[in-house]
Structures are given as C-alpha cells and as structure tokens.
Amino acid sequence: MTLPATGLPREEVLARLTALRSKDLAARGGRTFAYVYDPARPDIDELGHEVYASYLDVNGLDPTVFPSLLAMENDVVDIARRHLGSSTAVGSFTSGGTESIILAVKAARDRAGIVGGQVVLPVTAHAAFQKACHYLGLEAVLVDVDPQTFRAVPSLVEAAITDRTVLLVASAASYAHGVVDPVEEIAALGLERGVPVHVDGCIGGWLLPYFARLGVDVPAFDFRVPGVTSMSVDLHKYAYAPKGASVVLYDDAALRRKQFYACADWTGYTMINATVQSTKSGGPLAAAWAVLHAVGDDGYVELAQKTLTATRRLLEGVDKIDGLRVLGDPELALVAIASDEVDVFVLCDEMNARGWYVQAQLGYRGLPASMHLTLTASSEAVVDDLLVDLAVAVEASRGVTVGDPALLAAVQDLDPETLGDDVLGTLLPLAGIEPGAGLPERMAAINTLLEKMPMRLRERLLIEFLGLLFTPKSDAE
C-alpha cells in the first residue's frame, strides 16, 4: 500500500476502517473469553473513550509541564497501593502488565548489582518475566508447580535460590489456571534469604480483594504479607480501564529508584524516565483515572459479583458435562478446562465455530493441555448459553483426532539449533500455515503439532510466523 497521493475524505477513511475491523474478534458482548475485559457498562466505556481521546495529544514525557498527568498518576498509584494493603508504597503508571514486570525485574537486577543474576520463576509465572530476563541479561530459573493445584511449591522455589538470585516471583493469580501461589511462604523465603519478592497481580490484583469481600477464600497475597517488595496490577484488566493501563508498586522508594532512568550525557534535553516509554500519550492514564472514579468502590463490588456469579455457574456447569474437568481450584475468574475423553484443541475449535472465542493452552512439562476462559462481568449474561454449546461441542469432538502421526513423530526430533532460518520457513506450510493466508479457522492440527515440538523449535517457528505476518504485501500481490 502506498500513501494516498491526495488525502481521502473522512467518510472514506472511516469506511475502510470499518471494513478492516469487521474481521476482528468482538471486544464487547461477552462471547470473547480472552484478551478483552467487558464490564457490560456502556456508560463506563463511553467515558473511558471520551477521556482517552481528550488526552491523546498530551505528552507524559515530562511530568513538570503537564501537571494534570502528574496529579492523576499520583492519585492512581495511591488508589492501587491502598487496594493492595499499603498506604506507603510508591510506584508508576505503565502501559501494561509486561512493562510493569520489566520494570520490577530491572529494579531487582539493579538493586542486586551483580552480573549474571537469576530470577526464580514458577512455570506458571507469566511469560513476561522470561521476556524481562531476556531483555535485561538475566537468567530465568524455572521451577515446577504442584501438578494437582498448579500452585508454586515453596520447597522447589527454595531449592532454586542461589547467591545470584535477584528476585523471587509469585502470581496472584496465574493466568493459565487462575490460582494464587503461596505468597506467604515464598515471601518468607525472600525475607530469610534477603531476596526481593514480586507478586504478579497483573490479572488478579484488582479483582481478588473484591472476591475476598464477597466471601471467596483468597489467601493473603499483597503488601500486608511480610517480604513482598513489589507488585504489579493491571487496570486494563479487571478495573476495566481502556488498554494501556497498569501500575507497578514497590514497598520501598529505594527499590523504585532502581527502576528510574536519567541521561544527561547527550546534546538534547536532560532525559528522566520513570518507565520504559519516553514520549507517551496521556490518554491511557487519564482514562484509567476517570474509569476508577466513575465506577467507584460500590461499582467494582457489583462488577465483581457478576463475574463471580458467572464463574461459579461455569464451574458448576462444567462439572455436569461428561468428559470435562477443571484444572485446579481457581480463586479468580480464569478457568482452565481439560479432558481425558476428547481432544481439547478440537473442542476449542468447536466452540469457536459456534461463535465463541476460547483460548487453547498447550500441554507443558507434564501439565495437561486445556481450554482457557477469562470471565468478566459481561460473562454473566451468556454463561448459560456457553454451557449449552460446550456440552454440544464435547459430543461433536468425540472420536475426532488431528495431526499426521508421521509428521508429529518427525518434529519431536528436530533440533532448532541445527536448522537454518530458511529451513524453518519451509516448516510453516507443514504446520498448516501458508504465507499470506493468515491462520486457518481450525487450529487443532497446528496446536497439536506445536505441542509436540521441542520448546525452542516452537519458539523459532512462531518467530518465523510473526515475520510472515508482519510483512507488507509486495506490489506483485
């Protein structure tokens, strides 16, 4: 595509965008059980969008020249820290969970001040921690979780601590299974060994305190637990702020100082950055501030109640469907459903073919593959319909197997280290991925193949795939 030689009329631009968007997943309506958080409150969406747009041109680069942003950030951090059991923690507003995590890992690395630091990660910790280690030159030390509860095992975490450990991590809750790690035990290890402990509340940090108030047995997970030194909580998840909104918090200003970056050693303005981004739109912060104020504590209790009701109805309903089982005992509104009777990847396709969006989670280190659902306040209105379709989808999946056994056997032995990028590219069509064609509607065969591959090959292949996706069409196409 080339830039239009003359600017297009507004209607034409909007019509083109509408056409592009028609292929997107629905972000509202409750049928999309991943990626989006729908409060089923058009008033809140409307306010968020309006405020977001009104602050789009304001630059968060320099907090001294746009004091409204500084005031809003201090407000949002104050609200978040009180929500998580501290009136003295300090923090920053960031663009999302991944940025919050990268910053917390950087702070821990720079606090330790050693070369070759390690971060101890239960395998259920979000992949953003491994990304942070990759970016920051740290080693991610993965430890298994309990295969029944999917929670971190303190003794395994302890065994992984060395004199190079810069950070321990616990999830509250984990994305894949929605369970809360034993934060008290892990934080006690941190205290005993002098290692900071980050609790990843990106997905659970906002909702869990509300679930606790509604009677769910939520274990202690926040700053009230001695030894917890930093936390992340995403406002663009269960606080229903528009995307680009998270908070990273530290119990101690000295630790946060290690997050900040300043550079005076060049010809331009003296750069001081609290977060990874430098120029950043004020939109996400202003919108998050507005949504928090407009929903208020009573509104969040109501949203949490709907989410909890939907989750309980789903858990009870799944229990009654032959052939399905829920993994672990989720404390949050995240449910992983496995099956010993049907291929769970086929089941995901069957659900998606019925107009839902559910997410396939591949088996990993002996933990079973599953179908993931993130429930929100909007799920309450649709959960009964979902259960009806789920029961039908299970029957439709019975006896269906996917994947060519010879191919599945062959990929297990491929060593990504010895395969060149060109060979990797040729593997994509074997996996059912054709250049320019996007992903097929049915993903079970691809998921099965990916699951069978050595992990590193899977990663390399996905990077090839990403390269294909992000290649603009050439003139010939």
Ligand X SMILES: Cc1ncc(COP(=O)(O)O)c(C=O)c1O
In the complex, the residues that contact ligand X under the rule CB under 6 A are: 96-98, 101, 126, 128, 171, 175, 200, 202-203, 234
Closest CB 299 distance from ligand X, rounded Å = 22
Structure tokens at 76: 């949002």
Closest CB 334 distance from ligand X, rounded Å = 8
Residue nearest to ligand X (CB): 97
Closest CB 432 distance from ligand X, rounded Å = 26
Closest CB 187 distance from ligand X, rounded Å = 17
Closest CB 11 distance from ligand X, rounded Å = 34
The residue (of 181 and 185) whose beta carbon lies closer to ligand X is 181
The residue (of 202 and 255) whose beta carbon lies closer to ligand X is 202
The residue (of 377 and 444) whose beta carbon lies closer to ligand X is 377
The residue (of 169 and 382) whose beta carbon lies closer to ligand X is 169
The residue (of 171 and 361) whose beta carbon lies closer to ligand X is 171
- Cα(220)–Cα(214) distance, rounded to whole angstroms? 15
The residue (of 91 and 96) whose beta carbon lies closer to ligand X is 96
- Cα(155)–Cα(159) distance, rounded to whole angstroms? 6
Closest CB 100 distance from ligand X, rounded Å = 8
Pick the closest to residue 51 from 293, 301, 304, 233 (CA basis): 293
Inter-axis angle of helices 455-469 and 421-430, nearest 10:
90
Closest CB 400 distance from ligand X, rounded Å = 30
Closest CB 252 distance from ligand X, rounded Å = 22
Residue 140, preceding peptide bond in cis (omega within 30° of 0): no
The residue (of 172 and 424) whose beta carbon lies closer to ligand X is 172
The residue (of 90 and 101) whose beta carbon lies closer to ligand X is 101
Closest CB 353 distance from ligand X, rounded Å = 25
- Cα(103)–Cα(276) distance, rounded to whole angstroms? 8
The C-alpha angle with vertex 270 and arms to 267 and 271, in degrees rounded to 5, equals 115
Closest CB 433 distance from ligand X, rounded Å = 24
Written in H, E and C, the secondary structure of the chain is CCCCCCCCCHHHHHHHHHHHHCCCCCCCCCCECCCCCCCCCHHHHHHHHHHHHHCCCCECCCCCCCHHHHHHHHHHHHHHHHHCCCCCCEEEEECCHHHHHHHHHHHHHHHHCCCCCEEEEECCCCCHHHHHHHHHCCEEEEECECCCCCCECHHHHHHHCCCCEEEEEEECCCCCCCCCCCHHHHHHHHHHHCCCEEEEECCCCCHHHHHHHCCCCCCCCCCCCCCCCEEEEECCCCCCCCCCCEEEEECCHHHHHCCCEEECCCCCCCEEECCCCCCCECHHHHHHHHHHHHHHHHHHHHHHHHHHHHHHHHHHHHHCCCCCEECCCCCCCEEEEECCCCCHHHHHHHHHHCCCECEEECCECCECCEEEEECCHHHHHCHHHHHHHHHHHHHHHCCCCCCCHHHHHHHHCCCHHHCCHHHHHHHHHHCCCCCCCCCCCCCHHHHHHHHHCCHHHHHHHHHHHHHHHCCCCCCCC
The residue (of 269 and 364) whose beta carbon lies closer to ligand X is 364
The residue (of 118 and 171) whose beta carbon lies closer to ligand X is 171
State the amino acid at position 56 in one-letter form.
L
Closest CB 76 distance from ligand X, rounded Å = 16
The residue (of 238 and 250) whose beta carbon lies closer to ligand X is 238
Closest CB 44 distance from ligand X, rounded Å = 19
The residue (of 151 and 452) whose beta carbon lies closer to ligand X is 151
